[in-house]
Amino acid sequence: MKAVVFHRHGSLDELGYEDFPDPQPGPHEALVKVRAVALNGFDPMVLRGIPGLKTPLPMIPGADIAGEIVELGADVDRHLWRVGDRVTVVPNQADGMMGETKRGGACDRIAVDQTYLLPIPDAVSEVEAACLPVAYGTALRMIETRGRLRAGEKVLILGASGGVGTCCVQLAKAIGCEVIACAGSQWKAARLAELGADHTIDMSRQNYVAEIHRMYGKPRIRGGGGVDVIINYTGGDTWAECFRALTAHGRLLTCGATAGYDPKTDLRYIWSFEFNIIGCNGWTIEDQRELLRRVADRRLKPIVHSQEPLSNIRKPFEELIDRQVFGKAVLIP
């Protein structure tokens, strides 16, 4: 089969599109013909090498996979699965995360344990289904399970133009929140407004803390000013800054640190304003099933930035690195 592969960590020059041994399904596995695979922000990071993360080489990237069953292992439950079924894969598995610590789906075929398969509803395309697991699953858990957003709350989303961010905007609006979405360019800010954000901040021209103070006032220890919730998975320089935009007793939600994981922090803000800092690490299989239902019912729309053939892997990787992706970049084998 054909696959996107890197044999060692490094630059984009290490990415190849090459022949790779065909997977053979085990007794409890289904062989899935991949129809669509979506990339995530961590894919270029894994290519470069993440300190502390042991990535088996050679590695096939791509955690978000949708396709069609073409073969069943001997012990797969025939009451649940048949050849021809359209399925999406749950990538966060007991033995590792696909595309990080086990091989992903940027290839023609993949063998998947039946435990990690979900049927794709008729009203959902393979491309839509492939957009959901990592980014949308994390966003759903962060917004609804961990953050427990409520109608009427003011929610500031940093880095809102990616997969997690575009889903957070939609979920927060569906709850009834007032959404302030930040992006790194004017065109992304305009797209976020089209998506439904009540206010947008172009961080290439505006200081988001100053904008929050202008709109809602400076936060005060005894209450008032600022926003109720900040969603910050960028980290880096934005981490300490965002404490100055959060209201007393506010909630700071985080699920990543794309701009740096060890920022300087002024701890006085945390105890003085009694902030609640809430982490989110992944999602459940039920979260992924719920996302499929919402897309089928058109309560949620996966935002697709691009669809490229698998052989053109370099382009979406470059766009992810250069932060030129709005939503999800999808590959078609």
Residue in the block written with tokens 């290490």: 14
Q: Which residues of the chain have pLDDT under 50?
A: none
List the chain domain ranges. Answer: 2-131+302-332, 138-279
Q: Does domain 138-279 have CATH number 3.40.50.740?
A: no
pTM to 2 decimal places: 0.95
Residues 326, 27 contacting (CB under 8 angstroms): no
What pLDDT digit, counting tens, does each position of 65-86 carry?
999 999 999 999 999 999 999 9
pLDDT at position 236: 85
pLDDT at position 261: 86
Q: Angle CA(242)–CA(167)–CA(105) in degrees, nearest 5? A: 115
pLDDT at position 73: 98
Rounded to an integer, what distance in angstroms lies between the CA atom of residue 270 and that of residue 137? Answer: 28
Rounded to an integer, what distance in angstroms lies between the CA atom of residue 290 and that of residue 273? Answer: 35
What pLDDT digit, counting tens, does each position of 230-287 carry?
999 988 888 999 999 999 999 999 998 887 888 888 999 999 999 999 999 999 999 9
- Fold of the 2-131+302-332 domain: Quinone Oxidoreductase; Chain A, domain 1 (3.90.180)
- Do the first three CATH levels of 2-131+302-332 and 138-279 match, i.e. the same topology? yes
